[in-house]
Amino acid sequence: MPLNCKRRILLVALFFLFHGFAAPAQSGENGRPKLTPEQELEKLPNDSSRIIPIFRIAASYLYSDSAKTMFYINKGLELARKYKRSKSVTGLLMLSVQLYVSRGRFEQAIPVLEKADSLAIIDHNDYMIAVYEDERGNICNEQGDYPGAILHNLASLRYAEKAKDTQRILVGLVNISVAYQSEKNHEKSIEYAQKILRYPYNARNVLAFTKALEMIASVDVQEHRYAPARDSLLKALRLYAAEKNVNGVATIHSELVSTYPGDPYHQFGYALPAQDLWERLGNSNGYAILNLDNLGGIYAYLARVRSGLLRDTAAFSTHVVLNGQETAASRALREASRLTPAALREKARSWYTLSLARATKANDREGIIQASDSLAVLDAMDGRFKDAFNYLHQHDELYDSLFSQENKNSLAGVEADYRVELSDKQLQLNKLALSDQIKIKWLLLGSLSLVLLVMVLVYRQSRQRKKNIASLSALNEQLNAANEQLGEANRQLAEANGVKTRFVGILNHDLRAPVANLINILRLQKEGAAFMERATADAHADRITGQAETLLEAMEDLLSWSKGQMKNFKPQLRKVHVSDLFSDVGNHFSGTPAVTIGFGAEDGLVVHTDEYFLKTIMRNLTGNAIKSLAGRTDGSIQWRAWEAGGKVSLSISDNGPGISDVQLQPLYDESLPSSLKDGLGLHLVRDLSRAIGCTISVSTSAGEGTVFTLVP
């Protein structure tokens, strides 16, 4: 089924204007949700600052909601006229023209367009005059006046070049390519499309590039190169989708139908969603009318297959299910397979008739030509030769008026005049350039002496400035050095205060418990000495001795830890036998009831570390393990040591209840304060390990115990 060559310019003429003076909305700061344009608008005062945001909102609804577009255009015009912003009035009027043209309402667009052009001429706004000529060309193109379209498009290109606006130049090139394509002058259409593709690609050129791809694809289709045409259209579809241009997406869907000749399934797959979009966006433009003809052509093809006029055994056989549901194309094909040839032809006739009615209403003469030709063929198949003759006569009459030799000669003359005008303009520029060169020569000679004088003055000032800069640099260096010293002193003071605070908090708790126990035992011994047996008294004495030793060890641990907190203190690293470390732990906890402490290590293992720091770490981990086994009669703790990869590792494991992530947090998070309830614990282990470069890893499981692994 041949693709209708009807083209309507899809570039939003005001899209480029808008990007010229309005920056995109900024994203939210500090992670706050980004407000919608309407919400941002409500935050602005009711003055001229609202005009550009209103324009932006109106343009965003151009192809999706005509009522909202016109609502915001009217609000913007009210403010622009109130504050006498003539350029803003012109821009908003042009946007309303875009709305009318996109809906095929040309009789409403032309008066508004003329009013906008008058304002642009008064303001000497070459850019907006180019927009005016562009829109007049679009309307001529829609109405089949291709010489008029070319005339206005070339005028638009001249004003765009005068304004030196690349995006508007691209719009002009696109429109000229469209007009030549409508005139079926494929060579000229491709020539202008390729001019577009030679420009550097960027986000602002997206719509021009997509239109150029459409033009190239259309020629490929008409010359039966369907695969490259499909590739070009799919690339254009991706660009439209990225820009969220629903009108462009619908257009490409309508055009893709022609790249699948004799494939009703894929034709339905693109024509049906395109029809849904056109009914929502506006059904009177060229592509919407083309899509109706596409749908009629699919049913006409199926009617020929059903009648035996065409051999296509797979025409009704495609059936696809996606996500458990039948696709719209499969459903349409299945329903068509149940129809008779006559019923299929009636389906085709209904689509063709609707296409003809909408083309007639929109004065879309090329759409009328296409629909008339399709209906003539269909009526001939049904034996309605009189109706077929009438449709064919209508087709030939309009076709001759649109594509006559007179029109082609007129088009050629328009472009020839344009090229002559460019040549004359270039000659004038060359003469002006020559005259300017002579003036510049004398001006340079006259200015040379002045330049030399200025250079002498600049040289003297430069020498004086260098002296001043050297003095200021010396002062700045002294000031920077003083600031660095002050900053370092402040940092050291802050660190010292932090260490002091932690040390005092830990000392308060870890010395209170053993001292309190010692006092209680001494008081008990004093008050009950008369009633105690010798064995009991000895036991109390042993307990006093044990508590005193515990107190002394705690003080030693605190001293070791406090040394680790000192900036200039360095641990005394030396070789320490693992057997000595295990002996220290065993002796320290030899009187622990109900807990078995075992040791296992290869003979002769030695670690290079600070002996006292590592012993303190091992005592604390052993003490924590004993606490976790409180109340159990089968408590077991196992210390192990082994060598792997040239490094000695130590581990302590228990059969306790395990340890939670919250309990382990002090081992990794320095921001947590030490707890008066838990004492030094993992705070001490963390700081001492860091001081001697010992890494600690933990493996724990609820109900199965905990394993700490040390690598000094």
- List pLDDT tens digits, range 488-511: 878 877 876 765 666 556 556 556
pLDDT at 27 (0 to 100): 44
Cα separation, 639 vs 622, in Å, equals 9
pLDDT at 73 (0 to 100): 93
pLDDT at 651 (0 to 100): 93
Task: Pick out the chain residues at pLDDT < 50.
Answer: 1-29, 405-409, 411, 414, 566-568, 675-679
Could you identify the residue written with the tokens 């850019």? 127
pLDDT at 638 (0 to 100): 92
In this structure, are 196 and 52 located in the same domain?
Answer: yes
Q: Residue 598 sits in a domain of what CATH number?
A: 3.30.565.10
Q: Return the ∠ at Cα 118 (arms to 132 and 159), rounded to 5°.
A: 40
pLDDT at 445 (0 to 100): 81
pLDDT at 521 (0 to 100): 67
pLDDT at 680 (0 to 100): 56
Residue 450: phi, psi to the nearest 5?
A: -60, -40
For residue 29, is it within any domain? Answer: no
pLDDT at 373 (0 to 100): 83
Enumerate long-range contacts of 240-244, CB under 8 Å, 24 or more apart: 240/210, 242/206, 243/206, 243/207
In this structure, are 589 and 505 located in the same domain?
Answer: no
Contacts of 6 (CB under 8 A, 6+ apart): 182, 286, 287, 289, 290, 364, 366, 367, 370
Q: Residue 305 sits in a domain of what CATH number?
A: 1.25.40
Residue 24 C-alpha from the chain's centroid: 14
DSSP state of 310: S
In this structure, are 380 and 398 located in the same domain?
Answer: yes
In this structure, are 122 and 80 located in the same domain?
Answer: yes
For residue 479, is it within any domain? Answer: yes
pLDDT at 479 (0 to 100): 87
DSSP state of 669: -
pLDDT at 385 (0 to 100): 73
pLDDT at 569 (0 to 100): 57
Side chain identity at residue 133, one-letter code: E
For residue 121, is it within any domain? Answer: yes
Cα separation, 574 vs 579, in Å, equals 15
For residue 260, is it within any domain? Answer: no
Contacts of 427 (CB under 8 A, 6+ apart): none
For residue 467, is it within any domain? Answer: yes
Task: Tell me the CB-side half-sphere exposure of residue 606, using CA atoms within 13 A.
Answer: 6
Cα separation, 345 vs 508, in Å, equals 98
In this structure, are 416 and 379 located in the same domain?
Answer: no
In this structure, are 192 and 301 located in the same domain?
Answer: no
In this structure, are 386 and 433 located in the same domain?
Answer: no
In this structure, are 476 and 623 located in the same domain?
Answer: no
For residue 521, is it within any domain? Answer: no
pLDDT at 352 (0 to 100): 85
The pTM of this model reads: 0.44
* DSSP codes joined into one string, 191-206: HHHHHHHTSPP-GGGH
Q: How many domains does the chain have?
A: 4
645-674 pLDDT per residue, tens = 888 999 999 988 888 888 888 888 776 655
For residue 254, is it within any domain? Answer: no
Kindly report the number of other CB atoms within 10 A of residue 541's CB atom.
Answer: 12
Could you identify the residue written with the tokens 């409500």? 42
End-to-end CA distance of the chain: 81
Cα separation, 709 vs 42, in Å, equals 62
DSSP state of 639: E
Enclosing domain of residue 365 = 273-403
For residue 256, is it within any domain? Answer: no
Residue 55 C-alpha from the chain's centroid: 24
